[in-house]
Structure 1
Amino acid sequence: MDVKSSQATGNAAMHYAAWQLSRKGWNVMPTARNAKGSDLFCANDDESIIFGVQSKGLSKRAPVGLGANLDNLRSDWWIITINAKEENPTCFILSLEEVKEICFHSDPAKSKTGSKSHWLQPKAYDQPQFRDAWHRLG
């Protein structure tokens, strides 16, 4: 997949998530693209609830890379969108704790680069309790 296609998929997923969150009553503000941290910030009307969302967009059901250090993950909620540029994308809504709990990691001793990496396998995030579970966000 080329970079432009990957960026378009990520943008489609982020805007789809923002649209869904707005429809559910959240005030949603996208952050600067490619910045570290949350892709979206959401607040209720009186700003008594504010949370960050990490959006991951995929063209198909595939693993989601999380990087080498789980301590660098900051967003309260994660929305993984598959088929992001299709007519009917599917979103999986997970808390940060759930992402950390269900992720897989490589053994640095067995890695070609000698470093640890973390990722979410599709079978881990593609679960009924996460699928289009917008109600989890309040």
Structure 2
Amino acid sequence: MKLEPQVTGNIGMYYACYMLSRMGWNVMPTARNARGIDIIAYNKTGTEFIGVQVKTLTKRNPVPLGTSLEKVMGDYWLIINNVSAEPVSFVLVPEEVKSLAHRGEKDGRVSFWLQPSAYDTPDFKEAWHRIGFGHGAS
């Protein structure tokens, strides 16, 4: 079954919310049509906040980053693929996304992509520990 892009995005975002909640974070998805941060999470004492961008894919594909890397923001980036079967997650920070981005140019138009070989590595795969736990003070 082919999923609509919005449904695919929702699966990834809510999966990320589920995983972060299991780690002790209080999680709030942002407005779905807003650009930028997809999830805001805070610890139980309200002393630590994180902003998360989520990119969701149905399979192991390149992640489109747009025409500029200025939109790469937040504290963490989650790439979640294979969402229609068994989700696989990759946890990166924005600096890693920017440094690993591939710059493409076609017909004079520039675009940036994160290739699977760049994000699908043991350092990032299921590396939820990189985010830390949302319980207690930081």
TM-score by length of 2: 0.90
> 1:82 aligns to what?
81
> 1:134 aligns to what?
128
Identity within the alignment, %: 48
* 3-state SS in 1 of match to 2:113: strand
Runs of 5+ consecutive residues of structure 1 not aligned to the other structure: none
Q: How far apart, CA to CA, are the structure 2 residues paired with 1:39 and 1:57?
A: 11
* 3-state SS in 1 of match to 2:28: strand
> 2:101 aligns to what?
103
Q: How far apart, CA to CA, are the structure 2 residues paired with 1:85 and 1:41?
A: 24
Residues 13 and 85 in structure 1, CA contact (< 8 A), matched pair in contact too:
no
Using the TM superposition, give the Cα deviation of residue 47 of structure 1 relative to its aligned residue in structure 2, in angstroms.
2.0
How many residues align structurally? 132
Higher relative contact order, structure no. (Cα contacts within 8 Å, ≥ 6 residues apart): 2
Q: How far apart, CA to CA, are the structure 2 residues paired with 1:14 and 1:97?
A: 21
For each residue in 1:53-105, what CA deviation from the matched residue of structure 2 results, as whole angstroms up to 9, or x when unmatched? 1111111000101111112222221111111121x210000001110011100
Using the TM superposition, give the Cα deviation of residue 115 of structure 1 relative to its aligned residue in structure 2, in angstroms.
2.2
Residues 56 and 81 in structure 1, CA contact (< 8 A), matched pair in contact too:
yes
Spell out the pairing of 1:34-73 with structure 2 (5 A cutoff). Answer: 34-73=33-72
- Superposition CA RMSD, Å: 1.5
Structure 1 counterpart of 2:45, one-letter code: D
